[in-house]
Structures are given as structure tokens and as C-alpha cells.
Amino acid sequence: MDEICTGLCRLMVDSGADAGLAQFVSLLVGVLLVSGVPLLTVILLIWIERKVAARIQDRIGPNRVGPIGLMQTFADLLKLLGKEDITPTAADRLLYNVAPLVSFASVVLIWAVVPFTPFHYGVDLEIGVLFFVAVASFGTLAIMVAGWASNNKYALLGAFRVVSLLVSYEVPLVFALLAPVMLAGSMSMLDIVNAQSGMWFVVLSPLAFVIFYVSSQAETGRAPFDLIEAESELVAGFNIEYSGMKFGMFFAAEFLHVFTNGILMALLFFGGWMGPLYYESPLIAFAWLGAKGGIIYLTTLWLRNTVPRLRIDQIMAFNWKCLVPLSIANIVLVSLALKVLQELDMAPRQLIGASLVDMLPATIVLLIINGALTIYLLGILRRRGKDARREAQAAPVQFARASAD
């Protein structure tokens, strides 16, 4: 009881409340906070996303409702709530209505294992990283269900495309996650962050970070992998039949998922709340995490608004012929190097509490390995690109003749 009952609960017990009730209330507050913070964040995120997109496209973005357009999302929210809630007559009613909820819940559930500071977290699961992957697979399920339950062939086709994309990119994502897990020797989020006290994992295993970044961009369905909606060309994908707030929930889930991935990358690769003076106050630690997550989030927005969309066969080929082999090779090399270094006593066996000096030899060796792998990969990609260009330059001759007729 003493270990569970801390903070607010302790305070309530001291002022004479029933111990069981106090524990229940403090747990309830915790649950409400962990689920409420992401729900409120998403409202702000939509505004940020629209502003950033506008700036990149040389526009101003929302600027009419409220100061610098801050209230725009609330206006949109009211509009979505006020819209007619249409359920197609031929739809599978139950599944059609459940899908948006599952989609949103799959993202919010991730926040249960996100440690905000060394002391403030929903729950520190022994299998934190695996929990995140398992929960994210519900998102795939939601899209499949939405596409099918709409009883619309375009929705179903859209769902097929998305699900094949999501299922494929889950493979390199999980392999990339293995790198921080192996380095930290634990799947708990808290342990992984603490293990980065000597050196951030992005330095120890930059390739794993790149793979994770690319596949999480694909998992959220952002450009260059935005086949999910392809907003600029198609009507919509799996969510074509959805209207009002149900449609809004799919979108809120997507916006939140992007930010969640930013925070996860900050935790797994950028030392989470580690930074100057983080031990002084939980607030500073939280600020560090927010700043790191926010910067990564902004880079994903930048990428989204800059690069063009890939074809589905290109996306699949890139995943199965490049990312998956690369992630497997990365795991084999990193684990091998780490074990050899530990046997030679050049790397600490326990990373938690290790200092920068302890980590230096391991860092240099791992960086060299990662660099060599990157150069090899770039060589292959270059060769493939040259071949593809040669083919493309050979083909247009026929194409031009055909259009001239």
C-alpha cells in the first residue's frame, strides 16, 4: 500500500480520508490525466499542423478565428459536431460506429506507457515497448473494419491499400525498436531513458533511428507514404463514408499519432527528459522531453509538406527490398558489436548510470559500423537509381509517339 499510495493519495490519507477511497481517487486522477492530456493536445496540434503547412506552402494559414487563428480548431470542432451523422443504410452499423473509437483509442493507449518525467508516468510496464507495438496494431484493425463496414467498394479498396502498407512497415519498425531495447537491456520505457544517461541511442545506433523514423512516418500515413487518403487527388480512402465527428476522430487519431511518435522517438533515441538540470525539477525534465519531441514532430511536418507521394509498388519495394534487410543487418551488427565490446571490457555491461567517458569507445565503434552500413546501402541505392533512370529514359520514346498520334 505504501508504495502505491504516494502523492495525492498520501495527502488524502493524511487529511483523514479512507485509504481505499484515496487510492481509487488518485488512480482515477492519473487515468484522467494520461488520457486527457493527449485529447487536449490534439486540438492544439491541428492548429500547429495547419500553420506549419501554410508557412511551407507560402500561405498564412488560419488567422481569422481568435488571436493568430488559435480558435480555428474549436470552430472546426463545433462544425464537425453539428454536421449530420450519416450511417449508410447498407453499412454494418455496429462495426461502422466502433471503428473510429478503436482508431482513436489505439493512439491514446500508447500514452499509458509514456514517462513524462522520471517520476510521472501512467504505468511502467516491464514490456513497455512491446505494449506500444501491440496497441498500435489495433489502429490497423480499425482501418480494416472501417473500410469493410462502410459497404463501399472504394472504402474497401482504400482500406486494403492502407492495411498492406501498415502491416509491411510494422516489420522494420519493430526491428528498429529492438536496437534501443538491446542497448538498454530492458523493454521498460523508464529503463530505456535511464540507460541513455551516458550517450543517447541516436548516436549509438543512428540507422535504427532512421529506420524507425521512416517507418513511423509510414505508420501514420504521412507523405511520402500518404496513400491512406491521398487528399490532393482522391476523394478519400477507407474513411470515405464517414461524416461529422466520426470522420473527425480518424483525423484526430492521425494528428495525435504523429505527435506521439515524436515523443516516442525522443524517449527511445534522444534520451527523453535527459538534458541540463533535468534532475532539479520534474518540470524541467518535462520541458526537455516536450522540446525534443516537438522538434522531431516539426521535422515530420516539414517532410510531409515537402516530398511528393510514392506509388504503392515503390513503397512496398522500398520496404521489403531496402528497409527490412537493412534493419535485420543493423540488429545483427549492433548486437554483435555490443557483445564483443562488453567481453573486451570496452563498454559498460549496465548502461543505467554509465557516464559519457564509459560509453566513448562503444560509441566510436558503433558509429563506424553504422557508417559502413550506410555507405554500403547508399552504393546499392545509387546503382538501382541509375538502372531505373536508364530504363525511364529509354521508355518515353514510345510514350511520346503514342501521344502524338
Q: Which residues bind other proteins (CB under 8 A)?
A: 92, 95, 125-127, 130-131, 133-135, 137-138, 140-141, 144-145, 148, 156, 160, 163, 167, 170, 187
Cα–Cα distance for residue pair 35/41, rounded to 1 Å: 10
Dihedral sign, CA of 177, 181, 184, 190?
A: positive
Grid coordinates 532512421 are at which residue? 210
Q: Where are the beta strands (DSSP E) in 178-316?
A: none
Min separation Cβ 359 and other proteins, Å: 23
Least distance in Å: CB of 96 to other proteins?
12
Across-strand partners of 121? 115
Q: How many alpha carbons lie under 13 Å from residue 372 in its C-beta half-sphere?
A: 9
Nearer of residues 95 and 377 to other proteins, judged by Cβ: 95
Locus of grid cell 517532410 = 303
Nearest CA among 285, 262, 213 for reference residue 111? 262
The amino acid that residue 330 corresponds to is N
| Residue with Cβ nearer other proteins (135 or 366) | 135
Toward other proteins, which CB reaches closer, 49 or 170? 170
Over the Cα atoms of the chain, what is R_g? 24
**Burial profile 39-63: b = 16 or more Cβ within 10 angstroms, e = fewer:** eebbeebbbbbbbbebeeeeeebbe
Taking the complex as a whole, the smallest distance from the CB of residue 164 to other proteins amounts, in Å, to: 9
Shortest reach from residue 353's CB to other proteins, in Å: 19
Closest residue by Cα to residue 335 from 304, 372, 313, 362: 362
Q: Rounded to the nearest whole angstrom, what is the least distance from the CB of residue 25 to other proteins in the complex?
A: 16
Q: Give the shortest CB-214-to-other proteins separation in angstroms.
A: 20
Residue 4 DSSP label: T
The Cα 377–Cα 278 span in angstroms is 38
CB of 250 to other proteins, least distance (A): 18
What span, in angstroms and rounded, lies between the C-alpha atoms of 111 and 149?
A: 28
